[in-house]
Structure 1
Amino acid sequence: MGNLIADPVARGPGTASPVTVAVSRAARADRAVEEIAAQLCGRDICFVLVFFPAGLDREALAQGLDRALAGVPVFGCSSAGQITPEGYESGALLAIAFPKAHFRCASLLISPLKPLAISRISRDLRRLASRFPRTASWNRLALTFADGLSKQEDMLVATMVTTLEDLPCFGGSAADDHDFAETFVLHGGRVLSDAAVVLLIETDMEFAGLGFDHFLPSHQHMVVTRSIPEERIVAELNGAPAAAEYARQLGLSVDELTPKVFAENPVLVRTNAMYHVRGIQQALPDGSLSFLSAIEDGLLLTLGEGQDLIAKLRAGLDVTDARGRRPDFILGFDCYLRRLELAQKSLTGAASRILAQNRVIGFNTYGEQHCGVHVNQTFVGVAFFGPSWTTLP
């Protein structure tokens, strides 16, 4: 059964939370669409973001939403879990409606995504931006949702940042629970794999980008000595078979390498003064390691040391704007490996309460895009605050 969770908290006299969040837990796509549409009926919507579980009939979902919402643009992707106003969920259909009063939007569908045609995408992005006139005093950002198995997100986000210049870019990679079989993006009543959606969004709300993980660099290092970059596969580390060398660094055997081990012991890559997480997907039968982000020969990898996940989550979401206001809501893209680690440590409930308290809504990803980099095991988000012209309560 679905439920409507509209933010009732005022940000100023007569100013309620602008977005409407609708959730359906129906197992059938047609029923889920009915519930979502009923919750959003009568609202003056600019566009809707939808994050859906792998189990729903995706074609019925996309076509049903397109009909039921009567021409309102719907964008989104498949997920490895949803972040609803109640925290982490699985099997839920989450819809976030952005009102015309506070948002404008333009979209670009990139299909096919692989191989990445950089010059064509740059041209299309410039054309999209030129045809999206600015509104005085409004703020702009870009969002992207990409096929999480395409292995093209690294180049896509780099192309976006270069082309769109000073426009901040955020996003998450589509997922399919933990199956790693096929992932999809949603655009214009269609669901597509090997594709990405780019949104240019303009709003009169203030916003701030968030990006944090819970790892510190250790003193253990490895160099990629043989790889297949286009497949994100590392065959050798320090001149030895990759899985064996990684396991040796941890004091384990290759047979002991599990998703739990990968989630708790990622590797970090330093870019300028920042360390970014490179998640390991799995150990392959030939002794190589499959990664979730870009990898190449000569790359220096540093083993990450995990910190208190709950404390880092609480601190990372503790944000205010220049006027001391808490976010009206946070659009969040959270790596599935973070959620996996929380579950393994029986911390999912505690994390869900923190997410709910901080008004986080979004989905669990196969990778996150932030500061021009595709990363893993990171929470990336956009904190939205009441319009700058509102008065403090």
Structure 2
Amino acid sequence: MKDGFEPGLPSCVTVACSNAGDAETAAREAAAGIALDDTCFVLALIPAGLDTDVLAGVFAEVLDSVPVFGCTTAGQITPNGYENDALMLVAFRREHFRCSSTLIAPLKPLSIAGIFDTMARQNAKFTRTAGWNRLALVFADGLAKQEDLLASVLESVLEGIPVFGGSAGDGLAFERTLILHNGLFHDNAALVLLVETDLHFEGVSFDHFKPEGHELVVTEAQTEERLVTEINGAPAAKEYARLVGCTVGELTRQVFAENPMLVCHKQNHYIRAVHDVRDLNTLSFLAAIDDGLIMVLGRGKDIIATLEAELDKRDARGQRPDFVLAFDCVLRKLEIEEKKLDGQVSEIFRRRRVLGFNTYGEQHCGLHMNQTFVGVAFYPGQKGGLY
């Protein structure tokens, strides 16, 4: 048996999936695998293309005794690894989890005072269980472009409670993303789950790039829309293409995925991923951008070796996680598939019991980032969950 191989499924959550192309069939097949009496709440991770109104109707009918939360995704990480068309339901067992939910809508324009007040009241009203610890999970509409400010506000108001999250997607279409809360799907919204658990948990966050390339300075930007029109005093797309060694016409999502720009924050580097080129000169980003921002091109490290090392998690007793809840950027998946490494990555995810979805961005430690794996590792049999 390969070292570190963990056969079987997690014990602290129940996972049920369906690959049916019809929404009603998929919802009923997946829901049939959930034991409602044992469940505190269900997280629904939804592939692009399924009729969300139909899904909501079936969930209300067959999962009516437990709350169902979730979002549309740019891909799923199931017990089989990477998938694109799997409706996945993750049932969090009431033996180990409690939760309280808040829907922030509209997300844009974002009200800092409103979010601060709402989340402070939610945290105060959510009765604490002795010996249990808290974390927050956030699922945001990635097309509203408010995750940077949202992550910062949540980190501030929920001081001492670690926040992990991801931006909802819809494959690579970047057209419409939806958040599921209280039986309805919402756009321009964010879902915040305050979760209490008696399990020990630890955060996971990493990428596979080093800041070893050319420096880039944003000299003209449209901050609100995350658009950069000028880098180093030259047209943004032209200058970026020159530095990575191609023409503007050769810029693709694959080029962007393999040649990201990194910013430095508190002595750590974080990726600012490019979505696409607008009007031949403008670069559209997936995270906050501003005039004067200094970035550096990243050089890739070995994806497989990095993934193996970062997911080789153990607690103080040497135990591996029961499961890892993952928010994994779709641009990572794009690069992995292009390099034909998706089979190896899926095998690693199976061994490490990684469950989650591919995002349009990730939130952790008050930051919104791109092209990053963010997760929470939950450990069995150990009370208390200090992060």
TM-score by length of 1: 0.94
Q: Aligned letter for 2:371?
A: Q
Q: Aligned letter for 1:304?
A: G
Say if 2:248 and 2:280, in contact at 8 Å, map to a contact too.
Answer: no
Secondary structure at the aligned position of 2:318 is classed as coil
Q: CA deviation at 1:18?
A: 1.4
Unaligned runs of 5+ in 1: 1-6, 10-15
Say if 2:213 and 2:299, in contact at 8 Å, map to a contact too.
Answer: no
Counterpart residue number, 1:334:
328
Alpha-carbon separation, structure 2, partners of 1:142 and 1:192: 20
Alpha-carbon separation, structure 2, partners of 1:114 and 1:176: 19
Counterpart residue number, 2:128:
134
The aligned length equals 378
Q: Aligned letter for 1:295?
A: I
Q: CA deviation at 1:42?
A: 4.8
* Equivalences for residues 27-42 of structure 1 within 5 A: 27-42=21-36
Secondary structure at the aligned position of 1:181 is classed as coil
Alpha-carbon separation, structure 2, partners of 1:381 and 1:351: 16
Say if 2:14 and 2:91, in contact at 8 Å, map to a contact too.
Answer: yes
Q: CA deviation at 1:387?
A: 3.5
* Equivalences for residues 18-29 of structure 1 within 5 A: 18-29=12-23
1:60 aligns with 2:54: yes
Deviations 1:31-79 (A, max 9, x none): 1111122111454210000110111001111221122112311111001
Counterpart residue number, 1:375:
369
Q: Aligned letter for 2:55?
A: L
Alpha-carbon separation, structure 2, partners of 1:177 and 1:8: 28
Say if 1:33 and 1:68, in contact at 8 Å, map to a contact too.
Answer: no
Deviations 1:263-319 (A, max 9, x none): 000000000110001110001114110000000000001100011111111111011
Counterpart residue number, 2:245:
251
Say if 2:213 and 2:298, in contact at 8 Å, map to a contact too.
Answer: no
Alpha-carbon separation, structure 2, partners of 1:110 and 1:327: 31
Alpha-carbon separation, structure 2, partners of 1:134 and 1:177: 38
Counterpart residue number, 1:75:
69
Secondary structure at the aligned position of 1:22 is classed as strand
* Equivalences for residues 354-393 of structure 1 within 5 A: 354-389=348-383
Say if 1:8 and 1:17, in contact at 8 Å, map to a contact too.
Answer: no
1:215 aligns with 2:231: no
Alpha-carbon separation, structure 2, partners of 1:156 and 1:389: 31
Alpha-carbon separation, structure 1, partners of 2:322 and 2:202: 12
Say if 2:132 and 2:383, in contact at 8 Å, map to a contact too.
Answer: no
Secondary structure at the aligned position of 1:101 is classed as coil
Q: Aligned letter for 1:61?
A: L
Say if 2:178 and 2:185, in contact at 8 Å, map to a contact too.
Answer: yes
Alpha-carbon separation, structure 1, partners of 2:341 and 2:213: 28
Secondary structure at the aligned position of 2:106 is classed as coil
Q: Aligned letter for 1:30?
A: E
Alpha-carbon separation, structure 1, partners of 2:261 and 2:57: 41
Alpha-carbon separation, structure 1, partners of 2:244 and 2:172: 24
Counterpart residue number, 1:143:
137
Q: Aligned letter for 2:136?
A: A
1:314 aligns with 2:308: yes
Match of 2:317 among 315, 318, 323: 323
Alpha-carbon separation, structure 2, partners of 1:149 and 1:30: 27
Secondary structure at the aligned position of 2:143 is classed as coil
Q: CA deviation at 1:347?
A: 0.4
* Equivalences for residues 1-393 of structure 1 within 5 A: 8=8, 17-389=11-383
CA RMSD of aligned residues (A): 1.2
